[in-house]
Amino acid sequence: MSDARPDPDKGCFSLAIVDIDNSKQINDTYGHYCGDQVLVSFAQVLQDNVRETDAVGRWGGEEFILLLPETGLEAAATACEKIRGIMARSSVCYQDCQIMVTATFGVSQYQVEGGIEETLRYADEAMYRGKQAGRDRVVMAEDR
């Protein structure tokens, strides 16, 4: 008989919608080619800092989505905070300029009763609350 405790996050998943902050300003200041380089660099930071079981995808525009299997809301927020911090401490080099890039993360845990559409909506709403609160932060979906 095993004395291992059950993992409370086993079988659940969370997701995050991530939006690069001030992307319009980057495009307006440095041009769209630079904006594309920022997207590529940011995607690489995301990919380099998730687990093998996690998935990273482009959600549209300057938004990305992270799928974090077997991860509850708090653990997902912690993982996103790690990535946010890495990004905030780094920069993208473009034509001898160091461009600081930050992002805002909205995190939500899947709930069977609401389905994936509601999970996405809650993550998106959390991300927008983060933008309104000043950007460069991780915001968890409010209790449902």
CB 15 within 8 A of CB 107: yes
Q: For residues 74 and 76, give the distance between their C-alpha atoms in angstroms, rounded to a whole number.
A: 5
pLDDT tens-digit profile of 120-138?
Answer: 999 999 999 999 999 999 9
Which among 81, 50, 82 has a CA at the least distance from the CA of 68? Answer: 50
Q: Choosing from 62, 63, 70, 113, which is the catalytic residue?
A: 62
The answer to whether 62 is a known catalytic residue is yes
Per-residue model confidence as pLDDT tens digits over 64-120: 999 999 999 999 999 999 999 999 999 999 999 999 999 999 999 999 999 999 999
In the CATH scheme, what is the code of domain 13-140? 3.30.70.270
pTM of the model: 0.91
